[in-house]
Chain A
Amino acid sequence: QVQLQESGPGLVKPSETLSLTCTVSGGSISSYYWSWIRQPPGKGLEWIAFINDDGGANYNPSLKSRLTISVDTSKSQFSLKLTSVTAADTAVYYCARGSFSSGFYLDYWGQGTLVTVSS
């Protein structure tokens, strides 16, 4: 059974960089698209980006200028860095596995981690 687990600081100061890592277990990191999605408290879902196992990435244009995602296949991990954060970046951040088969869909998700941007 594929499992994903997010890790990283739960509190980030305004203007600093938010860094999260997702560790994948129970399955191969190859041939899938590893994704980040966020959800502000009490609000809906926002797709952030995905990356495949050879580093090809696709970003939400609204975040692209502040965003970097990377993958480390040797550790079965992928990561997100979001720079110059503000209170608007406060959210539960989810990592998920994306599959391209009859479209793109997210079939396995991590439990999510709350990141609060506050001084």
Chain B
Amino acid sequence: DIQMTQSPSSLSASVGDRVTITCRASQSISNYLNWYQQKPGKAPKLLIYAASSLQSGVPSRFSGSGSGTDFTLTISSLQPEDFATYYCQQSYNTPRTFGPGTKVDTK
């Protein structure tokens, strides 16, 4: 199985901050990397697919980059509704493993 790691596991930030979350795969996955946002008690929501493609309806302050084994999710200016947990997922092969998550809370 491809193992996914994320750093940091949690971070504290303020509205307006630039936030960067890193995801690393245990082997090369090309650009087969998705990002999801999950709020407490809710289902995950797709933000980014194929490493850098913004899902329809997702604000442009979210962006993704990377290829191979190292990927980044960036929130350019954190908004109140962005406090949540963020998961990466590799879609390169089975099982389609998720990272352990990064919780973004208020400073």
Interface residues of A (CB under 8 A from B): 37, 44-47, 58-62, 94, 96, 102-107, 109-112
Find chain A residues with CB under 8 A from B89 CB: 45, 47, 105-106
How many Cβ-Cβ contacts under 8 Å join chain A to chain B?
67
Find chain A residues with CB under 8 A from B55 CB: 105, 107
Interface residues of B (CB under 8 A from A): 1, 31-34, 36, 38, 42-46, 49-50, 53, 55, 87, 89, 91-92, 94-101
Identify A112's interface contact among B43, B46, B53, CB under 8 A: B43
Q: Other than the known A62-B95, A106-B89, what 13 A-B pairs have Cβ atoms closer than 8 Å?
A: A44-B100, A45-B87, A47-B89, A61-B95, A94-B43, A94-B44, A103-B31, A103-B33, A104-B32, A106-B44, A109-B43, A109-B44, A111-B42
- How far, in angstroms, from A15 to B45 measured CA to CA in the complex? 33
Pairwise interchain contact B44-A45, C-beta atoms closer than 8 A: yes
- How far, in angstroms, from A106 to B87 measured CA to CA in the complex? 12
Find chain B residues with CB under 8 A from A61 CB: 1, 94-95
Pairwise interchain contact A107-B53, C-beta atoms closer than 8 A: no
Pairwise interchain contact B95-A103, C-beta atoms closer than 8 A: no
In this complex, what residue of A is CB-closest to B50?
A102
- How far, in angstroms, from A47 to B4 measured CA to CA in the complex? 13
In this complex, what residue of A is CB-closest to B44?
A109
Identify B50's interface contact among A37, A60, A62, A103, CB under 8 A: A103
Find chain A residues with CB under 8 A from B33 CB: 103
- How far, in angstroms, from A59 to B92 measured CA to CA in the complex? 14
Pairwise interchain contact A47-B46, C-beta atoms closer than 8 A: no
Find chain B residues with CB under 8 A from A96 CB: 43
Q: List 28 A-B contacts (CB under 8 A).
A: A37-B44, A44-B87, A45-B36, A45-B38, A45-B44, A45-B89, A45-B98, A47-B89, A47-B95, A58-B94, A60-B95, A61-B1, A61-B95, A62-B95, A94-B44, A102-B31, A103-B31, A103-B33, A103-B91, A104-B91, A105-B34, A105-B46, A105-B50, A106-B44, A106-B46, A107-B55, A109-B44, A112-B43
Find chain A residues with CB under 8 A from B31 CB: 102-103
Pairwise interchain contact B44-A47, C-beta atoms closer than 8 A: no
